[in-house]
Amino acid sequence: MMWLSMPGPYDELEKEAEKLEKLSKTEFGKKNFISAISLLEEAKDIYSKLGFQGKISMIDQRIARLNNLVKFEKQESAMKTKGEEAFQKRVDGVIKEKQRYTEKKLTEQKAIPPEIQRKLERINLLVEKADKEEKLGKYTRVIGRYEYILEIYNSIPKDIGDFSQQIYEIEKKIAVLQTKK
């Protein structure tokens, strides 16, 4: 004789617990470990009401593994924060070094004798005029201004300042203008 049983409240509870387990796997896939643990705890409570000891020990193992993952993520997050702090310290150090360099350059400029300071101001004025005239298409005149600027730079003693980069830029500018003339 075969017994046909009608679905009872125990079957419904077991289905609910299985549904919670499945949801916890979905949450695990989304890396929502705390939510997955919570769902497993609910399923465990249902299984304990049903007396399913095998299921309870399996769920306990899963919960333990998830707790380890949560701890690992917290440690990893703390390590990232420390790494970010170290990086920020390096960035701050570079910024401070750049500020010191800029301040040093400013003090060096202040130490420039007045005669040289006037020459540098004259160069700035000539560059402004050359830029305006270049826009007007007066290339021959602009080339003449830049050649004069080169003469001024070359008249400044090398021990007062290194203007090699500026000289190079002016020479490059003259070469470009020669092609437009």
Q: What is the mean pLDDT of each run of 10 residues along the chain (181 residues)?
A: 52 89 92 90 91 90 90 77 76 80 70 84 93 90 93 87 87 89 68
- Rounded to whole angstroms, the Cα distance separating 70 from 172 reads 61
* pLDDT score for 7: 54
Q: Where are the chain's structural domains? A: 9-109, 112-180
CB 142, CB 133: distance < 8 Å: yes
* pLDDT score for 141: 93
* pLDDT score for 6: 44
- Alpha-carbon dihedral of residues 140, 141, 146, 152, nearest 10 degrees? 130
- Rounded to whole angstroms, the Cα distance separating 174 from 65 reads 72
Q: Which residues of 84-98 are buried (b: 16+ CB within 10 A; e: fewer)?
A: eeeeeeeeeeeeeee
**Is the entire prediction scored with pTM above 0.75?**
no
Q: Which parts of 51-163 fold into alpha helices (H)?
A: 53-110, 114-135, 139-155
